[in-house]
Structure 1
Amino acid sequence: MTAVEGFGSSESDSDDGQARRAAAVFDVLGSAYEKAFAHSETHRASLEWLVERLGPGSRVLDVGSGTGRPTAETLAAAGHEVLGIDASPVMVELAARQVPGATFRHADIHDVPLEDGEYDAVCVYFSLLQMSRATQTALLRRLVRALRPGGSMVLATVPADVEDVEVVFMGQPVRATSFGPEGFAGIVGAAGLTVLSAQNVLFTPDHPGAGPEPQLFLRCVRE
């Protein structure tokens, strides 16, 4: 399994230890993680679509912000107010240094207060994969409520029908949960989003021993 920026690095589940384990993985990976996924053209295309939809000075929440690149960096460079949330202190430190134009917080997304309609856009790039299915579903509903009506959400995941399986991610053992493509689109729709487009791709990380892996990107709006 793979991720661009935040493979579960912002997550929590009913077991607080899961978030700590996820953070520990990304503390170890650090900047090597960014290097492995920096060449994702699909991720950058998703961001370009989002930037084109945003008005000047929009407020954007980046869930699982990782090193800040490319998501927060792209959005901040376009003049938007970006808040990145990540459970890994190493990632937050890297992001704050690399993207001074955005704000980053070391926190579990579940502990971050979210007001209804306070954001113009929300980014959720691969940041659900170490949550249970029930927790993923509940968090998506909460994030949609934090979007203003007409606001945009971009999401990406590894589309696989797996639940609490152990995988090796860049040499680190992690436990992962996901949905197949239809299942993921289903929970996104049930949360209150309209999917405007979906893109399935195979991506090969720039990391020793990595092979091509499936990725699903969704471009959505809160109607």
Structure 2
Amino acid sequence: MKHDDQRPPAAVLFDALGSDYEKAFAHAGAHRAALEWLIERLPPAARTLDVGSGTGRPTAAALIGAGHSVLGVDVSPVMVELAARQVPEAEFRCGDIRDLALEADSFDGVCVFFSLLQMSRAEQSALMERLAVALRPGGHLVLATVPADVEDVEVVFMGQPVRATSFAEEDVTGMVRAAGLTVLSQHSTVFTPDHPSAGAEPHLFLYCRRDGTGR
């Protein structure tokens, strides 16, 4: 195991949070609504990608329960171990999504729930472009983030210090469209994680589709 200062910041953060993260977000209705929307649009036995798969619940568990296959990728070894134990039917890989080779037109659905915030703006934009290419034409992607015009600012999340980068709401939508996705709808909410050190957070959910006939 590397020392904390040698590991990606997201790995340090989520290794520390572990199962507390799942408990804090267990009552996130907007997350579950986005999952239901995606599942309704997936073909039978769809191939799906969960970016920043965390503990495997609720995202991978819901997709598996609906009869789909799941590849979950997370930079945190602690999260991957929890997910593999809790959702053994899915495949989980410990690694950085920015380094993972993604084949074109290989997924029917992609989930990106709050997994961009420890990346630079350029990295977020580049990843969205790669994810759009990895979607099959007609495939769907759901994204959730904390919209804010901030870049590499230090915040405290559930008692843990972390540096975060995001975009204002209209710029998140612009980034997704620039990647080649159609934003079918967007939903804004305010959510307070169930944790003594957590405060209210603005959440933005985008429901997207890749149009076209392939690349």
User: How high is the TM-score relative to the length of structure 2?
Assistant: 0.94
Corresponding residue of 1:48: 36
Q: CA deviation at 1:213?
A: 1.1
- SS for the counterpart of 1:198 is strand
Sequence identity of aligned pairs in percent?
70
Q: Which runs of 4+ in 1 moved over 4 A?
A: none
Q: Contact 1:18–1:130 (CA<8 Å) still a contact in 2?
A: no
Aligned length: 207
Distance between the aligned counterparts of 2:146 and 2:97, measured in 1?
20
Corresponding residue of 1:65: 53
- SS for the counterpart of 2:8 is helix
Structure 1 residue 33 and structure 2 residue 21: aligned?
Answer: yes
Distance between the aligned counterparts of 1:109 and 1:165, measured in 2?
22
Q: CA deviation at 1:209?
A: 3.4
Q: What RMSD over aligned residues (CA atoms) do the two structures have, in Å?
A: 1.1
Corresponding residue of 1:85: 73
Distance between the aligned counterparts of 2:6 and 2:177, measured in 1?
26
Corresponding residue of 1:3: none
Distance between the aligned counterparts of 1:22 and 1:51, measured in 2?
27
Corresponding residue of 1:174: 162
Q: CA deviation at 1:150?
A: 0.7
Corresponding residue of 1:156: 144
Q: CA deviation at 1:18?
A: 8.2
Consecutive unaligned residues of structure 1, counting only runs of 5 or more, are 1-16
Q: CA deviation at 1:46?
A: 0.3
Could you say which structure has the greater relative contact order, defined with CA pairs below 8 angstroms and 6 or more residues apart?
A: 1
Corresponding residue of 1:6: none
Distance between the aligned counterparts of 1:160 and 1:74, measured in 2?
29
Q: 2:123 aligns with which of 120, 131, 135?
A: 135
CA deviations on 1:10-48 (whole Å, 9 max, x unpaired) are: xxxxxxx78622101111110001100110000000000
Structure 1 residue 122 and structure 2 residue 101: aligned?
Answer: no
Q: Contact 1:19–1:87 (CA<8 Å) still a contact in 2?
A: no
- SS for the counterpart of 2:79 is helix
Q: CA deviation at 1:85?
A: 0.1
Amino acid of the structure 1 residue aligned with 2:54: G
Q: Contact 1:68–1:94 (CA<8 Å) still a contact in 2?
A: yes
Q: Contact 1:125–1:156 (CA<8 Å) still a contact in 2?
A: yes
Q: Contact 1:77–1:101 (CA<8 Å) still a contact in 2?
A: no
Consecutive unaligned residues of structure 2, counting only runs of 5 or more, are none
Q: CA deviation at 1:210?
A: 2.2
